[in-house]
Copies of this chain bind each other. A is one copy, B any other.
Amino acid sequence: MLPLQTRGLLVVLSGPSGVGKGTVCSYLKHKHPDLIYSVSATTREKRPGEVEGVNYYFMSREDFIEMREKGEFLEWAEVYGNFYGTPRKAVEKNLEQGKDVILEIDIQGAMKVKEVFPEGIFIFLLPPSKEELEKRIKGRAADTPETIKHRLSCVDRELACIINYQYVVVNGEVDTAAEQIRAIISAEKCRVDRMACLNQKGGNIFD
């Protein structure tokens, strides 16, 4: 088979808080083990059961700041006093090897990634309705009433961000949503404007 693309694709899977990004990613991981999942770096304490390089890359505040200043994060944020970031090198290495990388990230993070990585594929995960999203946010047992209230107040602003994305996938049924994401990746691999061999030669593909 003619290799139309040698470099992998960065797939940024994002969407409003509570839409089910993690659930869709878990399903994708299980069904499509060929996709690579970007692992974030964090300065927060490792929790029991968490594995270095699987859940997070755990690092000191000093190391994080040093990496950040060298531009080694695709994006970073501070949440409740801890730093979180997406290490650029790990992503680049997989892409160079022709592997597709999934980055599951909130909307603010996705928009930062878009600035430095516009060639990524930006997918917005949408709830079937606003009511359903609110129901999902309220149903998260682990969240405090304050967190829930804050998340609900962000819904409209987060949904309006959809226009900054290329694709929208409705997360009604997780398997359908995951297969749509898989289809988007397959389709993007067929895009003529991603074909390096044509861009370099500008002519006949077999020359």
Cα–Cα, bound, A183→B21 (Å) = 21
Cα–Cα, bound, A1→B168 (Å) = 13
The segment from A63-71, A82-90, A199-207 found at the interface with B is A199-207
Whether A206 lies near B130 (C-beta < 8 A) is: yes
Whether A191 lies near B167 (C-beta < 8 A) is: yes
The segment from A101-109, A135-143, A154-162 found at the interface with B is A154-162
**How many identical subunits does the complex contain?**
2
Partner of A183, one of B160, B186, B206: B186
Q: How many residues of A contact B (CB 8 A)?
A: 40
A-B pairs with beta carbons under 8 Å apart, 15 shown:
A1-B128, A2-B128, A2-B129, A4-B170, A156-B204, A159-B205, A166-B193, A167-B192, A168-B195, A169-B190, A179-B186, A180-B187, A182-B183, A184-B187, A184-B190
